[in-house]
Amino acid sequence: METFLQFLFSGLTVGAVYAIVALGFTIIYNASDVINFAQGEFVMLGGMCTVFFSLWGLPLPVAAVAAVIVTSLIGVALNKLAIEPARGANVVTLIIITIGASIFLRGLAQVVFDKQFHRLPSFSGDAPIDVLGATLTPQSLWVMGGAAVIVVLLWYFFTRTTFGKSILATSHNRLAARLVGINVELVLLASFALSAATGALAGILVTPITLTSFDAGTMLALKGFAAAILGGMGNPLGAVVGGLLVGIAEAMGAGYLSSEYKDAVAFVIILAVLFVLPSGLFGRRGTERV
């Protein structure tokens, strides 16, 4: 029982991060139909910027806020400089552009920062918390709590604010949204900024546990993508559930089966979902437009 609980905690912590990354995918996908493979780099930038801002003498909370702002600006720049000029190109082209952007950002981080691993201090100490014989670090609570807060804020933003609703409207029908006076360019810009900001937050929360480096984003993007596919691309609830499920499946796989296949779990999930349930757990049924 203790063992199971320990695996569960481990899975929930990692899964919460995947969930935030999957949410980032969802936000941009909803607004533009683009799957942004630079999503993992936002997570990396959040962590790395915070590390370096605090090395340059900023107190941790200030460094974290600055990192979120910088990452959002990079998200905006990505949209302005790479996605917008290619507007009208088909979705596959846009996706390839985001892969290029992710490689570029990784290279940039390597030059601007360095190639070493870095850590942040835990926000509230390292003393493990004992829960029914299993242990949890305070930082895990921060990660899970942070993910919950992000989910609630996003839910509020998308369902209770006009601007959030206009993003949803754009995702449903861009032409109609434009006709009712929604500034579609602004919506796209906002979705990239928002997605980058949530990614950066995930990076900041998780760096004290997992450490970070210029190439930490690649794996996270893949896992987050698996989570988004599992939950159903475009569904925020699906992203969260998918993230947690992938995390738990990984931890259980590593614990009960063999850790050799830990990373394979996520990819097996992608394949299985694509074969058996192409629209994911909560996805819209795919409709073919004629």
Place of tokens 């930038």: 45
Query: To the nearest 10°, the Cα dihedral for 249, 255, 257, 261?
Result: 70
The upper half-sphere exposure of residue 209, i.e. CA atoms within 13 Å in the direction of its Cβ, equals 21
Give me the least distance between CB of 106 and other proteins, in Å please: 14
**x/- track of binding to other proteins for residues 107-126 (CB under 8 A):** --------xxxxx-x----x
Span of 4-12, 53-61, 148-156, 231-239 interacting with other proteins by CB under 8 A: 4-12
Give me the least distance between CB of 222 and other proteins, in Å please: 10
Give me the least distance between CB of 52 and other proteins, in Å please: 14
Give me the helices (H) in the chain, please: 2-32, 39-55, 60-78, 91-112, 138-160, 162-172, 174-179, 184-210, 217-231, 236-256, 262-276
Angle, in degrees to the nearest 10, between helices 39-55 and 184-210: 60
**At CA 165, angle to CA 163 and CA 166, rounded to 5?**
65
Using CB under 8 A, which of 90, 162, 175, 260 touches other proteins? 260
CB nearer other proteins, residue 253 or residue 280 = 253
- Taking the C-alpha atoms of residue 17 and residue 20, their distance in angstroms, rounded to an integer, is 5
Q: Do 217 and 43 meet the contact criterion of CB atoms below 8 Å apart?
A: yes
- Taking the C-alpha atoms of residue 180 and residue 166, their distance in angstroms, rounded to an integer, is 10
Binders of other proteins in range 226-255 (CB under 8 A): 251-252, 254-255
- Taking the C-alpha atoms of residue 130 and residue 120, their distance in angstroms, rounded to an integer, is 23
Binders of other proteins in range 163-222 (CB under 8 A): 206, 209-211, 213, 219
CB nearer other proteins, residue 95 or residue 252 = 252
**x/- track of binding to other proteins for residues 52-91 (CB under 8 A):** ----------------------------------------
CB nearer other proteins, residue 46 or residue 236 = 46
Question: Interface residues with other proteins (CB under 8 A)?
Answer: 3, 6-7, 9-10, 13-14, 115-119, 121, 126, 128, 135-137, 206, 209-211, 213, 219, 251-252, 254-255, 258-260, 262-263
